[in-house]
Structure 1
Amino acid sequence: TTKLHGCYRLYAGKTYGRLFWLLVAISTGVVFVIVLAELTKQYKAGNVRTQ
């Protein structure tokens, strides 16, 4: 079974730990949005090469 010990430890953790993981989560989200925007731009450009 899966447990949520990690979530509780993050909630009950120290401020610096919380800030670190918040920064990691926000950074990951920003990178995801940037990559998604770039892929969408390339897709809409229609520059698809086939052999």
Structure 2
Amino acid sequence: MRIDDLSWKIMEALQKNSRVTLKEIAQIVGLIYNPELKPTELLKKEPRF
């Protein structure tokens, strides 16, 4: 799956579930881009767009 397809799926999910925050999306995408990063380390960082 390409990142473009994944981004589209994330946006569709956001439209269906408005409780998902942009920070949560950034964390999910961050894990995809940096799989070696631990989720706890990701929580400390501010999402960059």
Structure having the higher Rg: 1
User: Which structure ranks higher in relative contact order (CA pairs < 8 Å, sequence separation ≥ 6)?
Assistant: 2
If the length of structure 2 is used for normalisation, what is the TM-score? Answer: 0.30
Q: Which has the higher helix share?
A: 1
